[in-house]
Amino acid sequence: MRYLPLQQRVYENKLRKGFNTTDVGKEVILLTEEYGELCGAQIRDDQPEIVDAIGDIMIYCLGLCAMFKRDADMILNQNIEQPTKPSIAEYLPYVGKELGHFARTYRRSNKLTAQDIDKQEELTASIGKLMSYCSAMFRAIDVDEQATLEHIINTNEARTKQIRI
């Protein structure tokens, strides 16, 4: 699967709608919110919400790739820790651990804009791992990743309001 065309659409939509394209801290908050939604959906065993939350995490990661001017296809990290039984429940701690690492890295950074932040390499490595976990979760539940991401992007392109933090 190729992510760069999706990354470009996500970023173009952010620009067109006036959504955040510089503040990494805001994206950390939004990613954390989506992770919470994923955990809640898993507890409720709500398959459509699980799929949506995984997709939303991936969309935020694609947006961050664009903010850092990195090609998502190049930073995707296929060498991630794998749970013994690939399932959403088994992947959740790995996603949470990587999201925590991403947030800690941001907290220790100079907190400048995406273009000027001093921890870009570490941050993009975490984004690559988060994307890989999302992709693996889609495979674990046998969901068409491309179709899911296309659907979310189409929905976001039609959206008129920005989430306020």
DSSP state, residue 78: S
In a domain, 42, yes or no: yes
Q: What is the pLDDT of residues 75-102, one digit of tens each?
A: 997 778 888 889 999 999 999 999 999 9
How many domains are there within the chain? Answer: 1
Amino acid, res. 63: G
Q: What is the pLDDT of residues 97-121, one digit of tens each?
A: 999 999 999 999 999 999 999 999 9
Domain-embedded: residue 33: yes
Q: How confident is the model over 13-70, as pLDDT tens digits?
A: 999 999 999 999 999 999 999 999 999 999 999 999 999 999 999 999 999 999 999 9
Within-domain flag for 163: no
Cα–Cα dist 20/95, whole Å: 23
- Please state, in angstroms and rounded to a whole number, the distance separating the CA atoms of residues 77 and 165: 29
Question: Is residue 165 one of the residues assigned to a domain?
Answer: no
Measured between alpha carbons, how far is 87 from 85 in angstroms, rounded to an integer?
6
Residue 38's domain comprises: 4-158
Looking at the domain assignment, is residue 118 inside a domain?
Answer: yes
In a domain, 119, yes or no: yes
pTM of the model: 0.94
Q: Does the structure show a pLDDT above 70 at 165? A: no
- Find out whether 30 and 14 touch, Cβ atoms under 8 Å: no
